[in-house]
Amino acid sequence: MNVAYDGAPYRGFASNPNVASVQECLERSLGQVLRHPIAVTGAGRTDAGVHARAQVVSFDADEARFDPDALRRALNRLLAPTISVDNIEATAVDFDARLSCTGRSYRYRIFNRTVPDPLQRHFAWHVRDPLDLEAMSQATTQILGTHDFRSFSKINKSRPQQNFERTVRRACWYRCGDLVLFDITASAFTHQMVRSLVGMYVAIGRGRRAVSAMGEVLGELSRANAPSPAPSHGLVLWCAHYD
């Protein structure tokens, strides 16, 4: 099923003890409607506060109780107003939302104006300083292709052998009025990768770092010289790909 959510009330997609998660809400509501325990898998494990426009979720259900339209209507009543289900359909038995996914696309939104907009504050990072979009765009070429993104990832100390190599297929910056948008598509993403990249791009756009700094920090394989990640509320899981 395709799921959209406002990530603000949740500590991310994945279930964690003693905190609210999107996965927990979905499993509880699905179990209530289908009348048997449900475990769901999401295409992307979004972090705390990160939103989704089209998260893909898979689960196994009792065929005798599976009515997609009725299930969608019931879930939207139970999950509103922070989660909505756009589409539910039966698929191949071996389909897995995460393992079958061939790529993910994210969008980051920056509200770039001196005066803040209260209507944007939950879904865009307010950056008062003028941003040099040309410099930010030039720096995108340095992350295209396959790289080790250790410098732009949150390190899990319990997994010392973690693999940080990812393939970025597309990355671009553009302006739409007062909004500055960053779209990125990759095979997969490391923890906090997009937000960390955006933090560096904004430092470049503000003139605090050179365009070449993106490639230099990427090659260092260390977070020591990387700026702080951008806030989570500006990030949206935009699309999951299955081509």
**pLDDT confidence of residue 196:** 98
**In the predicted model, what is the mean pLDDT of residues 189-206?**
97
Task: Tell whether the model's pLDDT for residue 158 goes beyond 70.
Answer: no
Locus of tokens 């990759």: 186
Domains 2-87 and 105-241 agree in fold: yes
The full set of domain ranges for the chain reads: 2-87, 105-241
Decide which of 72 and 66 is more confident: 72
What CATH number does the domain located at 2-87 have? 3.30.70.580
Contact between 65 and 34 under an 8 Å Cβ cutoff? The reply is yes
Phi-psi region for residue 106, left (φ > 0), alpha (ψ -120 to 50) or beta? beta
* Phi, psi dihedrals of residue 80, rounded to the nearest 5°: -60, 150
Q: What is the topology classification, in CATH, of domain 105-241?
A: Alpha-Beta Plaits (3.30.70)
Task: Tell whether the model's pLDDT for residue 160 goes beyond 70.
Answer: no
Task: Tell whether the model's pLDDT for residue 155 goes beyond 90.
Answer: no
Q: Which residues are catalytic?
A: 47
How many of the other CB atoms lie within 10 Å of CB of 178? 15
Helix axes 68-79, 22-34, angle to 10 degrees: 130
How does DSSP assign 129-178, residue by residue? Answer: S---HHHHHHHHGGG-EEEE-GGGS---TT-TT---EEEEEEEEEEEETT
